[in-house]
Amino acid sequence: MGCVVAFLAYASIAGEQMIAGGKLLLKIAGVDLTLGILIFAIILIVYVMADGFFAVAYSDLLQGLLMLFEMTAAVVAGLWAVGGFASIHQSLPSSHFQPFGVFDHLTALSFFAVTFFLLISDQSMWQRFYASRDDRTATVSVKVWLPLNIYVYVLVFLTGLIASVLYVDIDPEVASFTLVMEVMPPILGAIVIASFVCIVMSTAGTYLLSASTNVVRDLYQRFINPKASSGQIKTLSSLSFWVWESSPWC
């Protein structure tokens, strides 16, 4: 039962990320949303099916480094544009700087719970830890991953604050995109936009593989065909990956 629930969650998240990829192409190049999702899906199919988890893991490393560098640059440029933290504090309501903001304790706890339980039960994260060459590598990866994860959340938070100061009543969905396009030099802005695409591609590819693993390993191989050959596993994995790729159109 847990496998089925995880599969539904991961397939849904992957579908959401492909839709997000289509929206990015819509914002960047004016591509029709449906066509943008199709283009995004084809790119994912090519590089994920080329080498499976190996391809996703190494592309995630490069995408993650690009994302960290460029998001940091975007926040620095944004802080320069608004006049620093003091200007942000003066421009926004005091509720923005309270521990729970405008939310009551129960609502704030629910937001925390969603993120916390996703992190500690995230199949894609544990796949990476178990794929480490040895225990020491896995331990080091956790020690590096945790502070970097917190750092990214801080960057996202600061991006939202800066956009709220510069663009009153802006749609949160396009806040980061607008900030980058408006305050950064064109070349750096283009690279930051590329990092947004990296974020979406990384998440979509990871969760598509997780959903495929749920079906092939946890259901098919465990309950239907325990003696399945590696060739059968690979074929079914590829087929299931194609199916989950079509989820945004469902």
- In sequence order, what DSSP letters do the residues of 111-134 get, joined into one string? HHHHHHHHHHH-HHHHHHHHTSSS
Q: Which domains does the chain have, with CATH numbers?
A: 2-249 (1.20.1730.10)
pTM equals 0.70
Instruction: For the chain of 250 residues, list the mean pLDDT of each consecutive stretch of 10.
Output: 67 77 83 87 74 67 78 87 89 84 87 80 75 86 86 87 84 76 79 76 77 80 86 78 60
**Angle of CA points 138, 13, 57, to nearest 5°:** 30
- Most distant pair of Cα atoms in the chain: their distance: 66
pLDDT digits (tens, 9 = 90+) for 18-36: 888 888 888 888 889 889 8
Q: Read out DSSP for 78-101? A: HHHHHTSHHHHHHHS-GGGGSTTT
